[in-house]
Amino acid sequence: MSIEDVAEKADVWSEAIRKIVKAIVAAGVALAAAIGGVLMWWPFGVSESVDESPVEGWGSQCSQLYSAMDHTWTESQWSVWEQLRKDLGC
């Protein structure tokens, strides 16, 4: 075997390895794009609304509303509080 034969075989192997690496990189890019597409449409942090209160009209918002009550309020402050209470259904 001459040096030219060895160099030619080395070039063939080098080209074959380069093609294999390119194919693997292309598959990796395609896989990353597919995963990225799935993750883009995945509903992270979205949860369905859950009724917090077992009794109709009494939840955390009503509880906060009643705890914010101050008996020294003016008439206008009381009217705003009453409207909020009616809007929330407390």
Residue 49 lies in a domain: no
User: By the 8 A CB rule, do 66 and 90 touch?
Assistant: yes
Residue 51 lies in a domain: no
Give, to the nearest 10 degrees, the angle between helix 75-88 and helix 60-67.
170
**C-alpha dihedral sign at 49, 54, 57, 61:** negative
24-73, pLDDT tens digit by residue? 999 999 999 999 988 888 877 766 665 555 455 566 778 777 777 777 87
Which domain covers residue 9, as residue numbers? 1-42
User: Quick check: is 48 in a domain?
Assistant: no
Task: Check whether residue 71 and residue 37 sit in a common domain.
Answer: no
Number of domains in the chain: 2
* Sign of the Cα pseudo-torsion (26, 32, 33, 38, in order): positive
> Is residue 29 in some structural domain?
yes
Is residue 81 within 8 Å of residue 69, measured between CB atoms?
Answer: yes
In this prediction, residue 85 has a pLDDT band, given cuts at 50, 70 and 90, of confident
